[in-house]
Amino acid sequence: MDYWKSHRTLKFAREIDEGTPECGFESLPSYLYMIRRADPSTVTRLQIDELGRFMYVFLAFGASVNGFPFMRKVVVVDGTFLNGKYKGTLLTSLAQDGNFQIFPIAFAVVDTENDDSWHLFFTQLKLLIPDDEGLAIISDMHNSIGKAIRNVYMLASRGICTYHLYKNILGRYKGKDVFRLVKKAARYFRMSDFTAIFEEIEAINHAFHVYLQRADVRLWTRVHFPGERIGAGYDDQMVCLTERGGQIAANHTYAWSGETTKCKSVDRVTAARDLTIQRIDDHHTEFKYGSSGESLNVVNLVERKCTCRRFEHDKLPCVHAIAAAEYKNVCHISMCSPNYNSAYLVSAYAESVMPVDSAQPVPEIVANQPCLPPSIRQKQG
């Protein structure tokens, strides 16, 4: 059997099993209606042009809408190309739950990543996540994303995902030593540490130093960022596109398992026992590493701050805060942000993504709503 006969056979078999792309667009209004009927808190929006052709669809499941208030106010957005006859781009927004797992919020399918598509996406997202000075939106360096955030989320802070920054750096500049310094500069909590490492980068490669300045240190460094960032590990993951229902189901199972009274990966007790402790007053405690005391930090448990700045940024007790809590006989778990409490984790996954009931009739006005495939220009070959 020659290549083209095999190609036609495969295409025909897929259409028998999955239906045609055209049928998929035609069924989209009814499908969105059935999703909202199964879960009224689900948010959808379908936009078509004057000829009834598909332009844009937005979808946020009710489980995500009602679960986000139990996350830290950090949202990561990204886009990826879709394969198939009509192509298009999938836009996503994600958060991170108290167990450091990806929590999908909303999706949109658009023609391409441009000013209009991102503006539409953020306009819909704003209905679910209001603009707030405490909100941080992390993305790659796409100009359209930055422009849309400035126009729609005027109060929120915008940050650059360090994973994408590292990819750009590796594409432009060579040298593992400089790259290692950039990763350190992005993750430092204290200004003095950042300044020292940034001066070292300038001494090694001035052009590279200029590039990092143009990228705006307020967007990619933790110490200069005006809002909140989650841990660097999450930035480095950036957008892992996951099938929505399966991801929530897996996280839901863990959240309700009752395995722990706190979320995993927040324990720094062992390292805290290597610190030398000195009481300053009722609220402040001083800590040094080793007998020489080359590294000194001061903790205030009442204000939940430490001079290392990790405590206030991570919203989790740093090693010094844990030592201070144990010294004062205070439970260090109580020093964690409520977002990392197992009760919040359970609340975040209190709702499930419900399946649609295809046996229930769809109103004719919905079933007859036109939704034709978008117009495309077939490429040669």
Give per-residue pLDDT as tens, 1-57.
Answer: 899 999 999 999 999 998 888 999 999 999 999 999 999 999 999 999 999 999 999
Please, are residues 281 and 275 in contact by the beta-carbon 8 Å criterion?
no
What is the structure's pLDDT at 251? Answer: 61
What is the structure's pLDDT at 342? Answer: 85
Tell me the pLDDT band of 272, cut-offs 50, 70 and 90.
Answer: low
Domain borders along the chain are 267-335
Whether 139 shows a pLDDT value over 70: the answer reads yes
Tell me the pLDDT band of 246, cut-offs 50, 70 and 90.
Answer: low
Please, are residues 110 and 69 in contact by the beta-carbon 8 Å criterion?
no
> What percentage of the chain reaches a pLDDT higher than 70?
83
Which residue has better confidence, 266 or 75? 75
Average confidence (pLDDT) over 194-223: 89
Summary mean pLDDT of the chain: 84
- Range among 143-152, 247-256, 323-332 rated most confident: 143-152
Average confidence (pLDDT) over 359-380: 86
What is the structure's pLDDT at 3? Answer: 96
Average confidence (pLDDT) over 328-346: 85
Whether 273 shows a pLDDT value over 70: the answer reads no
**Number of neighbours of residue 274 by Cβ within 10 angstroms:** 11
Helix (H) or strand (E) holding 78: strand 74-81
Average confidence (pLDDT) over 181-210: 89
- Range among 125-129, 202-206, 217-221, 354-358 rated most confident: 125-129
Average confidence (pLDDT) over 249-253: 58
Torsion angle defined by CA atoms of residues 200, 202, 203 and 205, in that order, rounded to the nearest 10 degrees: 120
Please, are residues 210 and 237 in contact by the beta-carbon 8 Å criterion?
no
Average confidence (pLDDT) over 322-345: 85
Cα–Cα distance for residue pair 37/44, rounded to 1 Å: 11
- Token code pair at residue 78: 């990204």
Cα–Cα distance for residue pair 240/168, rounded to 1 Å: 19
Which residue has better confidence, 358 or 361? 361
What is the structure's pLDDT at 269? Answer: 64
**Which residue reads 């610190």 in tokens?**
275
